[in-house]
Amino acid sequence: MIRKTVLLFAMCILACAANAQEQNLAAPKPFVLGETRELWSKELGEKRVVNIYLPEGYSPGDTTRYPVIYLLDGGADEDFIHIVGLVQYNTFSWINRVPRSIVVGIANTDRKRDMTFPSSIAGDRKLCPTSGGSARFMAFLEKDLQPFIQKTYHTSATKTLIGESLGGLLAAEVLFTHPALFDKYIIISPSLWWDDGSLLKRSPAILQKDYTHPTDIYIGCGKEGLGLGKTPHVMEVDANVLADKIKETKSNAVKVYFDYLPAETHATVEHPAVFNAFRLLYPVGKE
């Protein structure tokens, strides 16, 4: 009887220990993808949130410097997570397509304000009542955000900008008006219908022979049809016109790649386009 009691007691102890161990094993832990920073923008007069992904091996104590990829629509509930996944995947040692990079996702406060220049079209202004603030947002990129990132993290001089849809419109405007802010541009499905396509009528510095800043440009789009403006603009046609315009450059420092993805729509094109952009902008053996 005593033996049975001792055996039963021992089994209870083991069961409790196993249960406790199981509970410890099942205890949840945070899955950390990056960090979130807040900074005050003098240019915009407001607080802005940025999400930061740091590459494997990054250490504040070492001297290694990393390229920076700036992502428009970079909120946690926007494009930050899946673009970081593409960056991480392409930097795995067994792939080694893209150099290990810092990703800066810029969360939105008023997307239609920040990513559009003033439009002369009444329909555009009705569609986006707060529009027309891209000049201030570009000043934020240049005078607030880039200096903050360079001061806070170990960055190299190489900078990439990724933008899709209205973000693609802004990326194209940055390319046309402040091209040296970035070295690589990934412009996806740009909303070039804005202001009846007026951006396509500009003569930017990147077309001139004396433009010497090395600039690589990827322009991608899916089978997307008409833009939102009242004047008919087929988005893939406008994207092709943008690429053809840049190809006319007299500068040897500018390279442009156009990529048509007919199996994709405006809603699905960004992920495969960014993957293709990395393949084209970072050819094997060059980076």
Beta-strand ranges (E) seen in 35-94 are: 35-41, 46-53, 66-71
Q: What is the pLDDT of residue 13?
A: 56
Written as six digits, the tokens of 236 are 């893939």
* Domains of the chain by residue range: 32-281
Q: What is the pLDDT of residue 227?
A: 67
Q: What is the pLDDT of residue 228?
A: 73
CB 254 within 8 A of CB 213: no
Q: For residue 40, what are the β-bridge partners? A: 47
Dihedral, CA of residue 137, residue 269, residue 287 and residue 36, to nearest 10: 50
CATH code, residues 32-281 = 3.40.50.1820
- pTM over 0.85, yes/no: yes
In this prediction, residue 226 carries a pLDDT of 75
Q: What pLDDT does residue 24 have?
A: 60
C-alpha–C-alpha distance, residues 176 and 170, integer Å = 10
Task: State the helix-helix crossing angle for 80-91 and 270-281, rounded to 10 degrees.
Answer: 30
Residue numbers in the chain where pLDDT is lower than 70: 1-24, 227, 229-230, 284-287
CA 153 to chain centre: 18
Residue 6 pLDDT: 43
What whole-number distance in Å separates Cα of residue 195 and Cα of residue 173? 13
C-alpha neighbours within 13 Å on the C-beta side of residue 8: 5
- DSSP string for residues in 136-167: HHHHIIIIIIHHHHHHHS-EEEEEEEEEETHH
Q: Are 246 and 199 in contact (CB under 8 A)?
A: no
CB neighbours of residue 52 within 10 Å: 20
CB 172 within 8 A of CB 138: no
Mention every residue, 6+ apart, whose C-beta is less than 8 A from residue 139.
43
Task: Provide the token pair at 210.
Answer: 């004396």
Residue 12: the pLDDT is: 56
User: Could you tell me which residues come within 8 angstroms of residue 12 by beta carbon, excluding any fewer than 6 positions away?
Assistant: none
